Structure 1
Amino acid sequence: MPAALITGASAGLGAEFAHQLAARGADLVLVARGADALERLATELRRAHGVHIEVLTADLAVEEEVQRVAERVADAAHPIDLLVNNAGFGLPLQFADNDIDDEVRHLRVHVEASMRLMHAAIRAMRGRGGRIINVASVAGFISRSTYSACKAWLIGFSRWANAEYARDGVSVTALCPGFTHTSFHERMGLPAGQEGVPALMWLDAPQVVREGLRDAARGRAVSIPSLRYKLIVALAGLLPPALTSRVARRGRV
């Protein structure tokens, strides 16, 4: 039976990945900081789908805890077939006004932890095959403080790694949703619907995850859910960064 390891699994897109993969019969390793939320989710999925669930609590801003997760990814006795790098959080866009320690933690979770887990996964998957999904964002295609920069790194690396390791049977996909109804905004104190973003621009988490899993199965390097966001990304590539930066100050993706 295939097995998937999901970071940031206790809520949002991570929890949706867990629900959809468990419904497909996959065993899961759920990773997040909050043990109680993970245990509740694990209990629900075991009862609903009869799959094997491991719970691994870890703060991915802490190097030693990232190493524990990487060791689980690399465990040849219990192989991981799909790694979902989903853990992350947002910060206010005013970089100079933010605490630099918060910015460093933000970078570690989004980029360094993802890189370390991908390194472990690719080494373990080479030859036998496997998939990696990096949850990025359409923000990675525009100028938008350090959140945009982190997501741009994930997109760029996913594109390269997907081409480089295809011959080893490993696919790497950057999933790039736009505004999506999850608890991500609420954790920042920005409830969905209070960001000046039209209702048309919001996506549902089940749709985002379904399209991400589908594109990963097809070996695509980048997955942008919905036609409207595909068009927005194409347009953003034609506009000057100063203009996209001004537009991007509204809302969160």
Structure 2
Amino acid sequence: MTTSLITGATSGIGAAFARRLAAAGHRLVLVARDEERLRRTAAELGARYNTAAEVLPADLAEDDGIAAVEARLRDPGARVQVLVNNAGFGHRGRFLETSVTDESRMLKVHCEAVLRLTSAAVPAMRERRHGFVINVASTAAFMPRGTYGASKAWVVSFTEGIARELDGSGVRFLALCPGLVRTEFHERAGMDPGKAPSWAWLNPNKVVATALRDLSRGRTVSIPDPRYKLAVALARHTPPALFAAASQRTTRRYDPKL
């Protein structure tokens, strides 16, 4: 039976991955900070899909939390064939309005945890010549704005780089870059989702379905919606100053404090 480990597994895209992989018969290792919520999620998935769902409480903004997940990934007795690095969060406010401590915690979760967990999982996958790593980034990776966009750009670059280095190894890598997704992410960041137009929102289940389809097709970057594919293409080909001005106007409609 395939074992899949998912970080940030109790809500949003992480929970959608958990449901989809459980439905496919995978054994799950669910990682998140809230142990009580993890146990509820594991019980629900186990009952609904008749699969084993292990819980691993860990705060990936802390060294001890990352180390606990690293140890689980390296455990030779319970091999993980699929790793989904999904944990993440955002901040409201401009760069100088956010503390360096909070920005550093974001980098810890978005970059260091992804690096360390991927490094822990991949050697055994390569030895078996089979495995999958999905790193959840964002379209913000192509539309830079502060630490969040920069950290997600790192995730995309890191994923593309290791995919090239390990081409032919049997291990596949995917950077998933969704736009706005209906999850708890925005409320936790203190943003008002009601300010964004309804057409901009993506369904997490559809995002996951597209990601897994792109992974099966051998793609390394997945942008799961034609509208966001167009937005990324425009970002890549529009003069930076012009695109930044347009992006700032759009962002202020979403959050007037920015």
Give the TM-score taking structure 1 as reference length.
0.95
| Aligned AA (2:207) | V
Deviation of 1:246 (Å): 3.2
Misfit runs of 4+, over 6 Å = none
Q: Following TM superposition, by how much is the alpha carbon of 1:84 offset from its aligned partner in structure 2, in angstroms? A: 0.3
Q: How does 1:220-235 map to 2 (within 5 A)?
A: 220-235=219-234
Q: CA deviation at 1:210?
A: 0.5
Q: Counterparts of 1:5 and 1:199 in 2: how far apart (Å)?
A: 32
In the alignment, what sits opposite 2:149? Answer: 148
Once the two structures are superposed, the pairs formed by residues 69-148 of structure 1 within 5 Å of their partners are 69-128=69-128, 129-148=130-149
Aligned counterparts of 2:242 and 2:157: Cα–Cα separation in 1: 22
Which AA in structure 2 matches 1:179?
L
- Separation in structure 2 between the aligned mates of residue 191 and residue 80 of structure 1, nearest angstrom: 37
Distance 1:80 1:113 in 2: 17
C-alpha contact 1:143 1:241 (8 A) present in aligned 2: no
Structure 2: runs of 5+ lacking an equivalent: none
Specify the SS of the correspondent of 1:174. Answer: strand
Deviation at 1:95, TM superposition (A): 0.8
Question: Hey, what's the Cα distance between the residues in 1 that align with 2:70 and 2:95?
Answer: 30
Aligned residue in 2 for 1:185: 186
What is the match of residue 58 of structure 1?
58
Residue of structure 1 in register with 2:246 after alignment: 247
Q: Counterparts of 1:247 and 1:33 in 2: how far apart (Å)?
A: 37
Q: Given that residues 92 and 190 in structure 2 are in contact (C-alpha distance below 8 angstroms), is that contact kept between their aligned partners in structure 1?
A: no
Partner of 1:23: 23
Distance of 2:246 and 2:55 partners within structure 1: 40
Distance in 1, matches of 2:137 and 2:224, equals 12
Shift of 1:20: 0.9
2:211 is aligned to 212
Q: Distance in 2 between matches of 1:40 and 1:185?
A: 23
Residue-by-residue CA offset, 1:134-177 (whole Å, 9 max, x unaligned): 00000000121110000000001111111211221111100000
CA–CA distance in 1 between the matches of 2:138 and 2:194?
Answer: 19
Q: Which amino acid aligns with 2:135?
A: N
Cα distance change of structure 1 residues 217 and 99 upon mapping to structure 2, 3 Å threshold: same
Q: Distance in 1 between matches of 2:229 and 2:91?
A: 25
Q: Deviations over 1:102-145 (max 9, x none)?
A: 00001100000010001111112113110000000000001211
The alpha carbon displacement at 1:235 in A equals 1.0
Contact in 2 for aligned 1:42/1:53 (Cα 8 Å) = yes
Q: Which residue number corresponds to residue 167 of structure 1?
A: 168
1:38-84 per-residue CA deviation (whole Å, 9 max, x = no partner) reads 11110001101111111000000111220110111111211111100
Size of the aligned set, in residue pairs, is 250
Aligned-residue identity in percent? 48
How far, CA to CA, are the matches of 2:245 and 2:60 in structure 1? Answer: 31
Measured in 1, the distance between the counterparts of 2:211 and 2:155 equals: 15
Between the aligned partners of 2:177 and 2:94, the Cα distance in structure 1 is 23
Cα distance in structure 2, aligned partners of 1:242 and 1:116: 35
Q: Which residue of 2 aligns with 1:237?
A: 236
Query: Contact 1:181–1:205 (CA<8 Å) still a contact in 2?
Result: yes
Q: Distance in 1 between matches of 2:243 and 2:34?
A: 36
Q: Deviations over 1:189-235 (max 9, x none)?
A: 224222xx222211111110111111122221100001111111111
Which shifted more, 119-128 or 12-21?
119-128
**TM-score, structure 2 normalization:** 0.93
Task: In structure 2, give the amino acid aligned to 1:116.
Answer: R
Aligned-partner residue type, residue 190 of structure 2 = G
SS of the residue corresponding to residue 126 of structure 1 reads: helix
Distance 1:243 1:93, change over 3 A: farther
**CA deviation after TM superposition for structure 1 residue 92, in Å:** 2.1
